A = this chain, B = another copy of it.
Amino acid sequence: MKNFEFYNPVKILFGEGQIDKIPQEILPYHTILIAYGRGSIKRNGVYEKVVNALNGKKVIEFGGIEPNPRYETLMKAIKLARENNVDFVLAVGGGSVIDGTKFIVASVPFEGEPWDIVSKDVKVENAIPFGTVLTLPATGSEMNAGAVISRDATKEKYAFSSPAVFPKFSVLDPTVTYSLPKHQVANGVVDAFAHVLEQYLTYPSNSTIQDRFAEGILQTLIEVGPKTLENPTDNNLRATFMWSCTMALNGLISTGVPTDWATHMIGHELTAFLGLDHGVTLAIIYPALLTEMAEFKKEKLLQYASRVWYLSGNNLTPERAIEETEKFFRSLGVKTRLPEHGISHTDIKPIVDRFVARGWKLGENQNITPDVVEKILRRALEPYR
């Protein structure tokens, strides 16, 4: 186990009706900006509950934060917040709204060009406090201090993080997720599953507790993911799925272990250039990457095969574990090959070119060089089976 720091001060308010606890969490604040997405919260009743909870405060609204929240959109929210002296932001939505809100709260008091926060890793020292009401379990953003922001003009998608952008609180009410479209839930399962793999499928590091927790989240997602799709109003399934997603990326399972994150880095470019949903990109890249890197990940792949997929005997191989992983993604209705999205060799060229230009070396061993990225993308271009 490597040395590590762990700090996560987010207060979680979990369960049906917890939106009602928001007033006691925002006592010191006066002007609240509600940040949300494309209006589903107005159709499912969440908006009304949130507005009731903010009774007595000055409330400003900013809707229209899109999936893969865009710098161009968020700059408008930053202007609005500055003009109104907003002192607290309430993000109501999924990971994109919460990530976008993190950029907003960091940018409002920031004196330079906000894009530098993401593109140049400029340190965020201050931020307006904010809370979240999670409506789409997937990214874990509700209990971490990271965000991913896209810029339309340059087709860039970058991550930033700072302890200043931990939410003060996050409301996780499984009942508000009942009306989610199936494909969003399926993408959420893949996203959470991939988050765990990025922190687990590397090389052994004598981190027994972290491995067991990671395996526990994977086992849980395998158990409840498909069932959640079939029984959208089963509260226990929804609750378990929601809590799994939060646990998958709140810093706990990455304590003291090597991490990969290459699948996310490659997937971000598929989104930036080709507009694929984030979860979809992970379902495509992960099987291809594991196949390409199986040699370096062999020990953990075998552990994963045994403990998560219960493979044994002749089936206890990295290949079988990768097969099961891809089959799981497909069982959720998520396609795992580029041609299934009408993407061909010519489409991936600008992505490979960008990795070549950057010269990045990705993965836990920094051995996923641009040529390896190309090999992974070529594997993802092969048809399934």
**CB within 8 Å of B: which residues of A?**
1-18, 206-209, 212-213, 215-217, 219-220, 223-224, 236, 239-240, 243-244, 247, 252, 255-256
Contacts and interface: CB of A to CB of B under 8 A. Distances in A.
A145 to B, nearest CB: 13
A216 B206 contact: no
A240 B15 contact: no
Contacts of A256: 14-15, 239, 243
B208 A220 contact: yes
> How many copies make up the complex?
2
A310 to B, nearest CB: 12
Contact residues of A: prevailing secondary structure:
mixed
Contact of A3 (B8, B14, B215, B255): B14
B212 A1 contact: no
A371 to B, nearest CB: 35
Nearest to A13: B5
Contacts of A208: 220, 223-224, 240, 244
A18 B1 contact: no
A243 B15 contact: no
Q: Which of A5, A207, A219 is packed against the most chain B CB atoms within 10 Å? A: A5
A6 B14 contact: yes
Contact of A216 (B2, B216, B223, B239): B216
